[in-house]
Amino acid sequence: MSNKPKIMGVLNITPDSFSDGGLYHSKISAIDKAKLMLDNGVDIIDIGGESSRPNAKEVSIDEELSRVIPVIKSIRKFSDIPISIDTYKPKVMIEAVNNGATMINDIYAGQKKNAIETIAKLKVDVCLMHMQKQPQTMQISPKYNNVVKDVFNFLKERTETCIKNGINAEKITIDVGFGFGKTQQHNEELFKNLKYFKQLKYPILVGISKKSMIGNIIKQTNPQKRKTASLIANILAVKNGATIIRTHDVQETYEGIKILEALDG
């Protein structure tokens, strides 16, 4: 991937995601949202069929497939936009790629059984994210010796393991996992030290759009009212070294990055 910032638009085909759960649960509304994102300058569409918010419940493989595959197939009928599948399940990875997905966004960073081997065989891009514990337990008293170094060392180990198992280094992106097993202080410390992760020499994905770490700063409990603050944080993330911005608001992010590119000294 190039170093020019890319916009990854979030398309959750779930009834329970924290920001847009239920909004695009039907195939028709999901396709309309995808078309809108394309019109607004999206570079990658990230499709998810299982919520990973705190305390989210796992869904079956069949249920996840029934949510995401029809949407991937439909998008492929009118666009060749890169499609990311937000999953950690090898069977979902395979079916998604066979139907047109070009990237795997794995919140477990390939730690689930057969995940790395599957990604290597599929020869697609992959994003490896840091998460302490799992969605059901990740926000129960997260602890680190040094959050920046601990997350750095985890991502270093996971990227090295992926390469040893046949994944091309040029296909790897990393994600520090804001909100995934981190306190507010952990999140803010990671954000301020995002440039530290450039040492790993991989594209850096940042996903903070409308998350509670933004809400906590502006004292806003409603995710839908965190749009402006999220946009500002996303632009700061680009200045701090982010290569991919994962967002619910593609048009605003596109315009914000354009302003940054034109006016930043």
- List residues with catalytic annotation: 211, 246
For the stretch 152-160, contacts whose Cβ atoms lie closer than 8 Å and that sit 24 or more positions apart, written own/partner, are 152/196, 152/197, 152/199, 152/200, 154/109, 154/130, 155/109, 155/128, 155/130, 155/197, 155/200, 156/200, 158/109, 158/110, 158/111, 158/128, 159/128, 159/200, 159/202
> Encoding tokens for residue 103?
């990237």
For the stretch 58-65, contacts whose Cβ atoms lie closer than 8 Å and that sit 24 or more positions apart, written own/partner, are 61/89, 61/91, 61/92, 64/89, 64/92, 65/91, 65/92, 65/95
